[in-house]
Chain A
Amino acid sequence: MTVETNWDEPERIRPLSWRIVVVLLLVVGSLIYAFPFFWMLSTSLKIPQNIYLDPPQWIPNPVAWENYSLIFDVGPVWAWIANSTLITVATVVLRTLSSLVVAYGFARFAFPGSRVLFILLLSSLMLPGHVTIIPRFLMFRDWHWLDTFWPLIAPNFFSTAFAVFLIRQFLMTLPRELDEAAEIDGANTWDILWRLLLPLSKPAIATVAVFTFIDGWNDFFEPFIFLSTPDNLTLAVGIRWFRTQYETQFHLMMAISVVSVLPIIIAFLFTQKYFIRGIALTGLKS
């Protein structure tokens, strides 16, 4: 059930006036939506006395490249980048692999209780994280996991419901005859998963990896609750810490914001098609 969206399929030609109105609305709308990004970049390259000018200075003059080295002096920004990278990469790798294994179990095996477990998995998707955050905090405190990365990384060893669901939906579209043919050739189920289904599921796995990367990098709530020492924060929580310390230094705040947003924008531009496919495949993104 791969839902292929036919973005580029030609359709009937509309009257010229219609197309002009549409293009005009699109240009104005997308400029409004893109402008805050421009403003973020512009502010991040200004010297402090040019930030509040009226009328606003659109193009920074002089260009204050030094803001991008200053931010590393006023807070442990390198540490935040390293922490965010470590947590995000670990999350992507662990969650994707474990979810593939679990999705395989749900897609290809019928065992007593498998339907009940799958319904349980789906309903856990509906459970808001805030309901369990307090007990989890207390639990991690008792395990001496607070202010470490374990509360953020460890759950990914056990797969997550959304990733399992997405990969499972994809595996269901692959014909079982493939598995059976491989089994006749002497492959065991573990080989079938890694040597046959894994290469075939690359699109679904890429979708999960991209979603996980972006969610992991942007995640605020959990790192905010579980981490506390400035050196241990992620970039997202660090920006908030920075804001509480230097409330009026908008040029520096914007510089850190650019640093935190840039990897996401780059990742998104290279992986757009997996995004659109993911939304089409599941119809939801939590």
Chain B
Amino acid sequence: MSDLSENVMVAPRQQRRFLRFAHVRRREWQGLLYVAPWLVGFLIFIAYPFVWSIQLSFMDWKGIGTARYVGLDNYVRMFTDDEAFLYSIRNTVAYTAVHVPGTMFLAFVVALLLNERVRFMPLFRTLFYLPSVTSGVATVVLWVWILHPTGLLNRTLGLIGIQGPNWFGSTTWALPGLIIMSFWNIGTTMLIYLAGLQGVPQQLYDAAEIDGANALQRVRYVTLPMMTPSIFLTLVLGIIGSFQVFTAALVATEGGPGYATLFVLLHIYFNAFRFFRMGYASAIAWVLFLIIMLFTALQFWLASRWVYYEGERAG
């Protein structure tokens, strides 16, 4: 290497240019080599299945035997001849409509509190965040126990004279039960807000205070506008995640009772891996994907009306 650079020093002009060129080419090849693992993995585990799933969605196939192209039949069928699918859309939308704003509201209030300077703040922060790292089957099972007909929640409701429902055994209360369970898991949203709150300049609060704004007004007219980029981010991520709710419902209710908690991803799972309707399930997966993309695009389009980016400090 050092020999080479000494040669470059004494080399005539043309030769020097050639060496520079060779050096650039070598760097290019090296760069490609470094990203090659990702590219190979992307082609095998993402791009190829992605393309295949489009093809599958136009087929009737049990996973074995001959596959048959059926055109748009799968797509037509889910809207005309599949009651469960319509329920799954309804449930997913209902869940999202309560879960996403509810989580955002709770996380925002907690973040505001956690942004204050009081003693033991690291402890409080940890306690509010902990449920999000342990999220998974274990906590779903825990909440099945808490929402048991004679579980902790109904016992607590009993103390104030309310006869609690049989949450996951009831077609009316199973979905609200899952939503209550989801409100335990606000940590990620809360952390995003907390990071956003740290970025709100103190001068703005000082100025508002001089103008006579009280605490609530400061939140409404200073904090909220400055936080719109964080709020936007959590709204987009929240809806994407909420449309794919799966584990909680599968473990707690298996989609029941009846169709009460059948979400779209559960419907895909049952069709693909219980009934082996690979084509039909792929078509539903695509409809779900398109709905998610549509909602996301819509939000980016609406964002310019309410999200405030402060110059280069965009969040």
Q: Which residues of chain A have a CB within 8 Å of any CB of chain B?
A: 3, 5-7, 10-12, 14, 18-19, 22-23, 25-26, 29-30, 33-34, 36-37, 39-40, 43, 52, 54-56, 98, 101-102, 104-106, 108-112, 114, 117, 120-121, 124, 126-128, 130-139, 141, 155, 157-159, 161, 164, 184, 186, 188-189, 214, 217-221, 224-225, 236-237, 239-240, 243, 250, 253-254, 256-258, 260-261, 264-265, 268-269, 272, 275-276, 279-280, 283-285
Cβ contacts A to B, 21 pairs, < 8 Å: A10-B117, A30-B127, A33-B131, A39-B146, A55-B155, A102-B34, A104-B34, A128-B240, A135-B50, A139-B48, A155-B41, A157-B41, A217-B136, A236-B138, A257-B142, A260-B138, A264-B134, A265-B130, A269-B126, A275-B191, A283-B230
Asked if residues B49 and A239 are in contact (CB atoms below 8 Å), the reply is: no
Measured CB to CB, the closest approach of chain A to B59, in angstroms, equals 11
Measured CB to CB, the closest approach of chain A to B187, in angstroms, equals 9
Please tell me which one of the listed residues B37, B192, B195, B269 contacts residue A102 in the complex, with CB atoms under 8 A apart. B37
Inter-chain pairs besides A101-B37, A108-B31, 6 sampled, C-beta below 8 Å = A5-B198, A25-B113, A40-B142, A130-B268, A225-B269, A253-B145
Asked if residues B28 and A136 are in contact (CB atoms below 8 Å), the reply is: no
State in angstroms the CA–CA spacing of A23 and B114 once bound together.
10
Asked if residues A261 and B34 are in contact (CB atoms below 8 Å), the reply is: no
Asked if residues B191 and A117 are in contact (CB atoms below 8 Å), the reply is: no
Known A121-B42, A254-B142; contact A220-B137, beta-carbon cutoff 8 A: yes
Please tell me which one of the listed residues B131, B237, B246 contacts residue A284 in the complex, with CB atoms under 8 A apart. B237
Known A39-B146, A158-B45, A243-B251; contact A130-B244, beta-carbon cutoff 8 A: yes
State in angstroms the CA–CA spacing of A120 and B192 once bound together.
25
State in angstroms the CA–CA spacing of A124 and B49 once bound together.
13
Closest to B271 in A: A134
**Count of A-B contacts with CB under 8 A?**
260
Within 8 Å of chain A (Cβ to Cβ): is B17?
no
Within 8 Å of chain A (Cβ to Cβ): is B1?
yes
Closest to B63 in A: A138
Q: Which residues of chain B have a CB within 8 Å of any CB of chain A?
A: 1-2, 5, 27-42, 44-46, 48-50, 52-53, 56, 63, 110, 113-114, 116-119, 121-124, 126-131, 133-139, 141-146, 148, 150, 152, 155, 184, 188, 191-192, 194-195, 198, 202, 215, 230, 233, 237, 240, 244, 246-247, 250-251, 265, 268-269, 272-273, 278, 281-282, 285-286, 288-289, 292, 296, 315
Please tell me which one of the listed residues B37, B122, B251, B278 contacts residue A240 in the complex, with CB atoms under 8 A apart. B251
Known A52-B150, A135-B52; contact A276-B191, beta-carbon cutoff 8 A: yes
Asked if residues B38 and A121 are in contact (CB atoms below 8 Å), the reply is: yes
Interface centre among B37, B41, B130, B136 (most CB of A within 10 A): B136
Measured CB to CB, the closest approach of chain A to B150, in angstroms, equals 6
Please name all residues of chain A whose beta carbon is closer than 8 Å to the beta carbon of B130 when the two chains form the complex.
33-34, 37, 265, 268
State in angstroms the CA–CA spacing of A276 and B272 once bound together.
38
State in angstroms the CA–CA spacing of A91 and B296 once bound together.
30
State in angstroms the CA–CA spacing of A257 and B1 once bound together.
58
Please name all residues of chain A whose beta carbon is closer than 8 Å to the beta carbon of B282 when the two chains form the complex.
134-135
State in angstroms the CA–CA spacing of A192 and B150 once bound together.
62
Measured CB to CB, the closest approach of chain A to B18, in angstroms, equals 19
